[in-house]
């Protein structure tokens, strides 16, 4: 069983525009820490999975994921930092709010957008699917993965298929909430 946790909130996750409306900033590879809300989310997650024994624990190398993992995982196995589960590289969109560019198109596999620096969905899919294909070799192991929203969307598509409309945002996972997946339920 896979236990996937998107890191807790950062200030960029909670960003509000001048009118006070929530408009998160894109924080692909920016290495931001958790804010107080994110720390509390991680503590709640720790409580919800308390006593769970994990065969392996994987974490993104970015600070917000590592902090979340350190709060929620208190077992004896080493935490394995894996570059394949780092957040999508937002390239030229890094630091922009969702309303400052075509964020929906950015997360739609059918979009014809071309990027100067940003990583394509296909590139993210390739590395995350490679990671999951390795884990699938041991379907009975309980595994904790602490990563990011973009990786979570790709992980969901691995288990549920690409959304019919190509919109990966339909798979967006909230910050700090564990979600489970079972390799034995795959129909692939």
The count of domains in the chain is 1
Give the domain CATH number at 134. Answer: 3.40.50.1240
Tokens of 125: 């899919």
- Structure confidence by residue, pLDDT tens digits, 122-137: 999 999 999 999 999 9
CA dist 125 and 52 (Å) reads: 28
Q: Are strands 56-59 and 143-147 parallel, antiparallel or unpaired?
A: parallel
Helix (H) / strand (E) containing 155 = helix 149-160
Place of tokens 């964020």: 103
- Number of CB atoms found within 10 A of residue 100's CB: 13
- Structure confidence by residue, pLDDT tens digits, 74-109: 999 999 999 999 999 999 999 999 999 999 999 999
Helical packing angle, 36-48 and 63-72, nearest 10°: 40
Q: Which range of residues forms the domain containing residue 160?
A: 2-185
- Give the predicted TM-score (pTM) of the model: 0.95
Q: Are strands 79-81 and 2-6 parallel, antiparallel or unpaired?
A: unpaired
């Amino acid at each position: 069983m896979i236990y996937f946790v998107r890191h807790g909130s950062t200030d960029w996750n909670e960003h509000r525009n001048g009118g006070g409306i929530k408009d998160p900033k894109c924080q692909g590879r920016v290495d931001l820490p958790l804010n107080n809300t994110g720390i509390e989310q991680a503590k709640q997650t720790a409580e919800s999975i308390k006593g769970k024994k994990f065969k392996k624990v994987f974490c993104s190398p970015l600070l917000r994921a590592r902090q979340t993992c350190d709060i929620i995982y208190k077992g004896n196995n080493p935490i394995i930092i894996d570059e394949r589960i780092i957040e999508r590289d937002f390239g030229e969109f890094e630091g922009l709010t969702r309303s400052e560019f075509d964020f929906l198109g950015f997360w739609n596999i059918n979009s014809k957008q071309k990027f100067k620096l940003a990583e394509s969905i296909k590139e993210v899919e390739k590395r995350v699917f490679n990671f999951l294909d390795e884990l699938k070799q041991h379907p009975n192991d309980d595994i904790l993965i602490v990563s990011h929203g973009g990786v979570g969307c790709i992980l969901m598509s691995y288990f549920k298929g690409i959304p019919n409309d190509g919109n990966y945002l339909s798979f967006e996972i909230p910050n700090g909430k564990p979600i489970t997946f079972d390799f034995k339920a795959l129909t692939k």
